[in-house]
C-alpha cells in the first residue's frame, strides 16, 4: 500500500513525459509554429491533453480508504499511509487538471453521490473486521 501512495506521481510523470516527447519530436525546429502534422485535427490531438478518467480516480480513492479501514485495526500504520496516498492524489490531480488534462467533462453529481455512499459504508466494514481482529485470541495471545 505504501507503493500505491506514490502511484499518482509515477503515472503523472510518465504521462506528462510521453506528451512532452511527442511534442518535441513533432516540432524539432527552433520555430514554434512549424509542425509535422498534416491536418489541424492531428495538431489539436497532439497538443491537447487526454480526457479525464474520473471513474479510475474514484476507484483508486475508494481502494485506499477501504483497505485502510478494513485492516487498519490490525495494522495501524495503514491510516497514515492512506492519508499520504490521499494527499498525493489531491496534489497530482490539482496539477493534472491545471496543466495536463483537457477541460473536464460536464458531469452530474451521480458519480460523486454514489462514491460517497460507498465511502460512508467503510466505517461499518472497519467495525466488523475490527471486532473480529480484536476478539481473535490467536492474534494477540498465540492460542
Task: Please report, in tens digits, the pLDDT of each residue of the chain (143 residues total).
Answer: 567 667 777 877 888 888 888 777 777 655 666 777 777 788 777 778 788 878 888 888 899 999 999 999 888 999 999 999 899 889 888 888 888 888 777 777 888 898 899 999 999 999 998 888 888 878 777 76
In this structure, are residues 123 and 69 in contact, taking their beta carbons and an 8 Å threshold?
Answer: yes
Terminal CA-to-CA distance of the chain, rounded, Å? 29
User: Distance between CA 69 and CA 11 in Å, rounded?
Assistant: 25
Q: Can you give the pLDDT at residue 141?
A: 75
Q: Can you give the pLDDT at residue 69?
A: 93
Number of domains forming the structure of the chain:
1
- Nearest CA to 5 among 82, 96, 90? 82
Give the range of the structural domain holding residue 103, as residue numbers without chain letter: 2-141
User: Distance between CA 61 and CA 89 in Å, rounded?
Assistant: 8
**Which contiguous run of DSSP H or E holds residue 87?**
helix 78-99
Q: Can you give the pLDDT at residue 33?
A: 67
Q: Can you give the pLDDT at residue 28?
A: 64
In this structure, are residues 115 and 62 in contact, taking their beta carbons and an 8 Å threshold?
Answer: yes
Q: Can you give the pLDDT at residue 4?
A: 65
Q: Can you give the pLDDT at residue 80?
A: 93
Cβ neighbours of residue 23 closer than 8 Å, sequence gap 6 or more: 46, 47
Q: Can you give the pLDDT at residue 93?
A: 86
Q: Can you give the pLDDT at residue 26?
A: 79
**Which contiguous run of DSSP H or E holds residue 31?**
none
Amino acid at each position: 500500500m505504501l507503493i500505491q501512495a506514490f502511484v499518482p506521481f509515477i503515472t503523472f510523470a510518465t504521462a506528462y513525459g510521453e506528451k512532452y516527447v511527442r511534442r518535441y519530436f513533432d516540432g524539432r525546429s527552433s520555430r514554434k509554429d512549424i509542425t509535422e502534422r498534416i491536418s489541424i485535427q492531428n495538431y489539436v490531438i497532439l497538443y491537447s491533453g487526454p480526457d479525464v478518467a474520473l471513474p479510475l480516480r474514484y476507484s483508486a480513492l475508494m481502494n485506499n480508504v477501504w483497505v485502510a479501514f478494513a485492516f487498519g485495526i490490525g495494522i495501524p500504520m495503514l491510516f497514515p499511509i492512506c492519508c499520504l496516498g490521499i494527499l498525493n492524489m489531491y496534489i497530482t490531480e490539482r496539477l493534472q487538471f491545471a496543466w495536463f488534462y483537457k477541460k473536464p467533462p460536464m458531469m452530474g453529481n451521480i458519480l460523486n453521490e454514489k462514491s460517497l455512499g460507498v465511502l460512508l459504508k467503510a466505517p461499518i466494514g472497519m467495525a466488523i473486521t475490527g471486532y473480529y481482529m480484536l476478539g481473535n485470541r490467536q492474534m494477540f495471545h498465540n492460542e
